Structure 1
């Protein structure tokens, strides 16, 4: 490992990191230190804000809760590629230099750092640490810890952390409390992304490989919670640190109120729900609207000891549905993918599974002002797309809408369209089997993880979908596997179709490259499950990241939405415009809701326990 007080540069380059030289300082345009940073414009909260607007700053501390997860876990380390940790652990136990307000599209305020400075073009960012910031063991957070964390996560950590490191041309200590990162390229979001990277304790790993850390070793962090006890695959209990260093920060006031949070793990959603009914769980999110309306009438709800709460949001729908693996030769043809979408009888499936209570996802950013406009592309969106016109799938420029059936089980009209598209792509039915010119059949498998709620719904949808595909001569089989096999096969792209859910924010940015950027398409473990390789999509993500105005950013996002939707990479299902939470009556939450609604940053972070 390089010494932390030397700059990390591209191979072949090295220069001393300390910026004591007045000549260097004089040559750079310094910005004034600030308490926060917004992607566009200024932070909504002034430097002297008391608390986030969606918290109760006077919320009492105390109480214990039990939540349920499906599946299992086999590691306490959420920062490396191997193993499956409880997904909540990296949010409850670890912190970055900055923290996010979920009442603004993308704004950060000082957390481990007391201030942030950037160049006007955001080609560099500088953070000054709070002197009071400490790890769980009481040792101070140092610039050396910060530099080590960026480099280690960027080279040995989970893939989600490596993209940022590849875009950092240098990281350097300005003084004993200040660190500066300089970026490659034109990406205004990097200054914010850098502020959210978790900071870990370097000394814990001296002389040891971080990537090969024992699965039962807790990574030392700075956050308000740490693991109290655990049993792999069964349960993990987190305890709140009463001496947490940041408990009086405005960003933290009124948050992290519960003394103990336990996660119990269940083999499937059915067993988890029965535990909820038996009073063994304190709260659960329900994603099935039909089940919410029909199955939540058990005794605890009737006697008032449990409450049904609905939390609306203003965030994009994201994409949820069946990902189509374009690495499969047959599925690389957009006409075949469109045929699969035409055959998916959404209206009938939605009525059967949710009672038509949930609206369909109509594009990746539907339910928000970032969503593509229907009809032909115009204005700035058209200008962005026109250079790629020759290579864009049909409908990108002209306008594309998902097919709508008549709601009947047969779906004859759309199946006729599907047959025509398959014939155009060179597929014909021979003796009841759809075959290409070489006589190869189109047999597809749908990879599903056992026990996951969303995937159980997709499995039910597949039971309706398979007979429709059979009428086209296509055989669909469902591969229902355990968590370990599921992760392994998704990482290796060993599937034709699989479940996908990608949550998207009101400020999409660098993560879009991970979801559907060309460079991630064939990277082992990539989140680009569909294998999207589109120069146009890459260019739109770049335009989003380099946009100087909100208008340009929205245009680029709408253009990307068109490319992804018309690319027919996913068979979309329904979206959740509000969260449905069943919880103990003793659990309370603020009445002022953030624009992002519910999430890990809402329940349990801003909830509290109040005895009757």
Structure 2
């Protein structure tokens, strides 16, 4: 089996067509639901289009995680569980197709019904649905799961619960949620809440659960063994209740999946080279070309596979904390972006192989269009035009250097911006009117792969800032300190990653909403407070028009990008996976490409 390089399956126009092709006359569907229009797959479909329904079952795969873990409960606020726990061991009422921007099909629920305005949603459970211990999944379990996660669970579950007016049983196997706000996405979000077993927690506090107590789920896999901080083993449940469902055909094919934890990326990679791990994802394009020529690659035991996607780029880079001066001044933020010599840094660290992120939704049809805002995007932004950062209406693009290490032209612009903001150089030191030097600290986590790359970029960046009279240093801390300091916004700049989808919705308010600007532990790391951004998000959530949704998202992209909150780095338009030759995958790619829903979910083990 040779390395595979796949071309893009669909164009941006094709994605828009997918949103708009179906009639918007009805929001109801017995077997599934879409954000706009109707689900692409009909009632009684056999399998998802990007799986191999005939994939064989069997085999063991071993993956490596960096760091450690101190909990096996991914649903509560405390503790640090393996990120795979939520996806491998638990199910929701509905399941996603990753070949459609936002469409759900029945999983624990056999059907879904919703009002035309989506003010309520009703689910009917499958009679055969059961937890891994063989007990049935009941309406009581579902209602308890919504209430408990919404009040005692991780903060990411509580925002949804605040929008639920009431939840009630409507039949032996059915329940209805009624919402207290206008928000078309809530019916779909409801379908994706994890469902847990109520009886497991009788007489016990869910929020204060023992780190070693694994919540009982209903998925194809169960935790069989574990050693806190070191390893977890998941075994496929031979009595899994849903093995014949359309959503499950050709998925969850491995008998055993193991997670091994490593404190250092170098050690993890050596374990893969030695054959102790089954696959790794590589995010550094230069390493992909230079480091993956070891013996097991040369003799064909390891295959290099590249998988493209049509997902938005999201945003990765250094976020600036606007709760602190001088980041509250857009001119200072722009100056810091000008001084970041992306072209030279990219050439040094990746051999110039990776394109830069140009906006939050770049690489997709949801991204802002070049030049001035026009048409419906301009109309949506117009009421806020006087308060928007420069470039939002007229057009904004990131500075581009000449590729040399000196970056003189951009540094001259940075000096002018800093001077306009009240910062001047005295004896090589940039200071304000009070004589205070501009000293900045970057908060990074030790041992994190993405931040290890960022550390190298910061080292180069610091030299450029020194030429402006700015002192930049790095605080490299362990995982616990990192989480605590980010949660309390104790940083000037820090590593930032927000993965965005083709179906942005309520999570956007968590990322950019004013409520999180000063709330400890929020996802709004930059501390932005933009009425315009919130208005665009609200329009995205309430419109029943795909065209309006796209316009509102493009307008939001303009606000975020021209806000100059993050110094962007490179984007990943494809996944790079090195894996054992006996691991196979379907040739048909979903529009979302690779992810937890693809590798390992639709892969399988095939002996040569």
TM-score range (shorter-chain normalised) is over 0.9
**Secondary structure at the counterpart of residue 314 of structure 1:** coil
Query: 8 Å contact 2:27–2:114 — kept in the other structure?
Result: yes
Query: Which of residues 188, 193, 208 in structure 2 aligns to 1:192?
Result: 188
Q: CA deviation at 1:427?
A: 1.2
Query: 8 Å contact 2:27–2:37 — kept in the other structure?
Result: no
* TM-score, structure 2 as length reference: 0.95
Match of 1:491 in 2: 487
Query: 8 Å contact 2:28–2:116 — kept in the other structure?
Result: no
Q: CA deviation at 1:32?
A: 5.8
Match of 1:404 in 2: 400
CA deviation vs aligned residue, 1:461-508 (integer Å, no higher than 9, x gap): 011100111111111111111111111111111111111111111111
Match of 1:268 in 2: 264
**Residues 1:65 and 2:58 are matched in the alignment:** no
Query: 8 Å contact 2:29–2:38 — kept in the other structure?
Result: no
CA deviation vs aligned residue, 1:298-342 (integer Å, no higher than 9, x gap): 000000011000001011101011111111121111111101000
Q: CA deviation at 1:431?
A: 2.6
CA deviation vs aligned residue, 1:427-485 (integer Å, no higher than 9, x gap): 11223221122222211111111122211111000111001111111111111111111
After the TM superposition, which of the residue ranges 48-57 and 230-239 deviates more from structure 2?
230-239
Query: 8 Å contact 1:588–1:607 — kept in the other structure?
Result: yes
Alignment of 1:462-501 (within 5 A): 462-501=458-497
Structure 1: tracts of 5 or more residues without a match: 1-29
Query: Which of residues 84, 92, 97 in structure 2 aligns to 1:96?
Result: 92
Query: 8 Å contact 1:364–1:564 — kept in the other structure?
Result: yes
Match of 1:4 in 2: none
After the TM superposition, which of the residue ranges 372-381 and 520-529 deviates more from structure 2?
520-529
Query: Which of residues 339, 344, 364 in structure 2 aligns to 1:343?
Result: 339
Match of 2:433 in 1: 437
Structure 2: tracts of 5 or more residues without a match: 1-25
Query: 8 Å contact 1:344–1:465 — kept in the other structure?
Result: yes
**Secondary structure at the counterpart of residue 148 of structure 1:** helix
Query: Which of residues 278, 281, 287 in structure 2 aligns to 1:282?
Result: 278
Q: CA deviation at 1:82?
A: 0.7
Match of 1:549 in 2: 545
Q: CA deviation at 1:33?
A: 5.4
Query: Which of residues 451, 456, 478 in structure 1 aligns to 2:452?
Result: 456
Match of 2:348 in 1: 352
**Residues 1:519 and 2:515 are matched in the alignment:** yes
Match of 1:250 in 2: 246
Query: 8 Å contact 2:122–2:177 — kept in the other structure?
Result: yes
- Mapped to 2, the partners of 1:31 and 1:53 lie a distance apart of 23
- Poorly superposed stretches of 4+, deviation over 3 Å: 30-33
Query: Which of residues 532, 540, 543 in structure 1 aligns to 2:536?
Result: 540
- Mapped to 2, the partners of 1:32 and 1:387 lie a distance apart of 34
Query: Which of residues 571, 592, 595 in structure 1 aligns to 2:591?
Result: 595
Match of 1:609 in 2: 605
**Secondary structure at the counterpart of residue 602 of structure 2:** coil
Match of 1:176 in 2: 172
Query: 8 Å contact 2:28–2:115 — kept in the other structure?
Result: no
CA deviation vs aligned residue, 1:41-72 (integer Å, no higher than 9, x gap): 10000011000001111111110011001111
Match of 2:386 in 1: 390
Alignment of 1:130-279 (within 5 A): 130-279=126-275
Match of 1:46 in 2: 42
CA deviation vs aligned residue, 1:341-390 (integer Å, no higher than 9, x gap): 00000000000000110000000000000000111001110111111111
- Mapped to 1, the partners of 2:307 and 2:294 lie a distance apart of 21
- Mapped to 2, the partners of 1:38 and 1:556 lie a distance apart of 19
Match of 1:558 in 2: 554
Query: Which of residues 105, 108, 132 in structure 2 aligns to 1:109?
Result: 105
Query: 8 Å contact 2:77–2:155 — kept in the other structure?
Result: yes
Match of 1:570 in 2: 566
Query: 8 Å contact 1:446–1:497 — kept in the other structure?
Result: yes
Query: Which of residues 313, 317, 320 in structure 2 aligns to 1:321?
Result: 317
Match of 2:71 in 1: 75
**Secondary structure at the counterpart of residue 366 of structure 1:** coil
- Mapped to 2, the partners of 1:455 and 1:234 lie a distance apart of 21
**Secondary structure at the counterpart of residue 476 of structure 2:** strand
- Mapped to 2, the partners of 1:562 and 1:362 lie a distance apart of 11
- Mapped to 1, the partners of 2:513 and 2:360 lie a distance apart of 15
Query: Which of residues 300, 304, 310 in structure 1 aligns to 2:306?
Result: 310
Query: 8 Å contact 1:72–1:483 — kept in the other structure?
Result: no
Query: 8 Å contact 2:27–2:118 — kept in the other structure?
Result: no
- Mapped to 2, the partners of 1:167 and 1:436 lie a distance apart of 46
* TM-score, structure 1 as length reference: 0.94
- Mapped to 1, the partners of 2:525 and 2:81 lie a distance apart of 21
**Residues 1:428 and 2:424 are matched in the alignment:** yes
- Mapped to 1, the partners of 2:42 and 2:29 lie a distance apart of 13
**Secondary structure at the counterpart of residue 479 of structure 1:** strand
